[in-house]
């Protein structure tokens, strides 16, 4: 078809928009496009195709809480090497530098739309948010603090599960945190969990799925064992999208899927609705 006017004539052959040659980009694993980091940051690390990139704990805290309202609790609590696992001490030192965190969870109090709450956010860049003794202790005493001060708890989970370098001590955290969650519930207080990619292993098998309201981000992997292990064990082909948040929602394990851009408003409305309790 021939162009009808000068505007159309230049439309197809016009030069593409030039980007800053020095600006770093990140490739989206879903649409495979290179996205300038400035645009990605402006959109809360969400691609235009809807893919949610993993977000550091403090970035998420900044996004979800009222400015200046977050007060960190237990910042110096960190893992040791109780089993003298070979290379574990060196690995901890490496990930502390890489993630700028002392442990795989950040805990504190904050306000979300002027609604006060306790908050824990797991750090994906600290051994993929794996749950060791220090993580379990921090989350447990945060729930105890919430009971003492009559506050709801909001938790953002991301984890590969229990930390194998701490063996049984890591697995024991599942029961310990679950007991603290039960005491918080018995006190009539609200607990909301937001599952992000991935939430798996012992975290899924305990406090991630024990909340009064369970939310998830789009496309997040939610499950216990990995899909490959399940297929090898059952010797059956798993359905498409197995363990994605949309599949988990369809089968009744979570309550809703919330886009990152809507999470602060959504959580604020839930907190106001419940007044901190149930």
Q: Which residues of the chain have pLDDT under 50?
A: 8-18
Q: Give the whole-angstrom CA distance, residue 15 versus residue 37.
A: 22
Q: What is the pLDDT of residue 13?
A: 42
Q: Where do the H-state alpha helices sit in the chain?
A: 6-11, 37-42, 57-64, 88-99, 133-148, 167-186, 201-204, 227-234, 245-250, 263-274
Which residues have C-beta within 8 Å of that of residue 233, sequence separation ≥ 6? 225
**pLDDT at position 105:** 97
Q: Is the pTM of this model over 0.85?
A: yes
Q: 3-class SS at 46? A: strand
Say what the pLDDT of residue 144 is.
Answer: 98
pLDDT for the residue 19: 56
196 — phi, psi (to 5°)? -115, 175
């Amino acid at each position: 078809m021939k162009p009808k006017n000068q505007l159309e004539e230049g439309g197809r052959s016009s030069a593409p928009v030039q980007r800053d040659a020095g600006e770093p980009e990140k490739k989206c694993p879903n649409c495979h496009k290179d996205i300038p980091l400035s645009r990605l940051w402006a959109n809360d690390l969400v691609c235009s195709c809807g893919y949610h990139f993993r977000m550091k704990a403090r970035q998420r805290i900044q996004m979800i809480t009222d400015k200046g309202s977050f007060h960190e609790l237990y910042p110096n609590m960190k893992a040791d090497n109780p089993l003298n696992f070979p290379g574990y001490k060196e690995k901890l030192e490496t990930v502390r530098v890489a993630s700028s965190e002392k442990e795989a969870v950040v805990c504190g109090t904050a306000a979300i739309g002027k609604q006060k709450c306790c908050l824990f956010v797991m750090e994906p860049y600290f051994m993929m948010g794996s749950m060791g003794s220090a993580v379990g202790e921090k989350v447990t005493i945060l729930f105890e603090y919430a009971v003492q001060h009559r506050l709801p708890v909001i938790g953002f989970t991301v984890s590969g599960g229990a930390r194998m370098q701490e063996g049984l001590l890591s697995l024991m955290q599942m029961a310990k945190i679950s007991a603290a969650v039960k005491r918080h519930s018995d006190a009539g207080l609200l607990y909301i969990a937001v599952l992000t990619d991935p939430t798996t292993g012992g975290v899924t098998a305990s406090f991630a799925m024990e909340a009064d309201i369970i939310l998830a981000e789009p496309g997040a992997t939610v499950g216990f064992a990995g899909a490959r292990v399940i297929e090898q064990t059952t010797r059956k082909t798993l359905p498409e999208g197995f363990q994605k948040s949309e599949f988990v929602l369809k089968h009744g394990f979570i309550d809703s899927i919330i886009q990152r851009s809507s999470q602060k408003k959504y959580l604020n409305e839930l907190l106001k609705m419940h007044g901190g309790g149930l």
